[in-house]
Amino acid sequence: MKKIIKNYWLLFTVTAIIIAADQFTKAIIRNNIPFGTSWMPLDWLAPYFRFVHWRNTGAAFGFFQGGGLIFGILAFFVTGFIIYYYPQIPKDQKLMRVAMAMQMGGALGNLIDRLRGDTGFLSGAVLDFISVGDFAVFNIADSSITIGVGLLILSMWVADRKEKTKNETTEGENSDGTKIVDSET
């Protein structure tokens, strides 16, 4: 049990925080803004930012409308993959671990909506509420998935750079770490 907690504590902690924040903010919108209407906290923000009560039956940011069931099933597979793969990520790659947790938290946050559904059980709809300019309406879970993917790409790039630097510094050394001396100079 200690091994499981040690391997997964960061994953489950970050995932739980994201799900809680996502569901809490969606409950506020559900209870205070009627469907299809919007609220602007500050009038001068009106052209740039507002909260809306909207349903999305597609992927993040409104892509692939009507695919709620497919994205619900996909969320199960993504979660299973992350739980399986997570312990294989080296412990020193915290950025990659956080990225995976953010993706899992976002996937599960939206999955809860798809299963419960504002328009009925298993409706496949997700509540979106953040509207910025002319960009698609989104929620905390969508943001978490997007930031998680960005962090995953960044962490892979950082790991690749470290590996290249390590390989460059080990060139010219014997297997025991001693320098190879070119006798022609």
- Strand 38-39 with 126-132, pairing: unpaired
Beta-bridge mates of residue 56: 126
Annotated catalytic residue 142: yes
The catalytically annotated residue of 113, 142, 176, 182 is: 142
Following DSSP, what letter does each residue of 53-106 receive, concatenated? EEEE-SSGGG-STT-HHHHHHHHHHHHHHHHHHGGGS-TT-HHHHHHHHHHHHH
Which residue in the list 128, 134, 160, 176 is annotated as catalytic?
128
| Phi/psi of residue 12, nearest 5 degrees | -70, -30
User: Which H or E run includes 185?
Assistant: none
CA distance 185 to 150: 48
User: In what side-by-side order are the strands of the sheet with 49-56?
Assistant: 38-39, 49-56, 126-132
DSSP 8-state symbol, 136: P
Active site residue 113: no
Active site residues: 128, 142
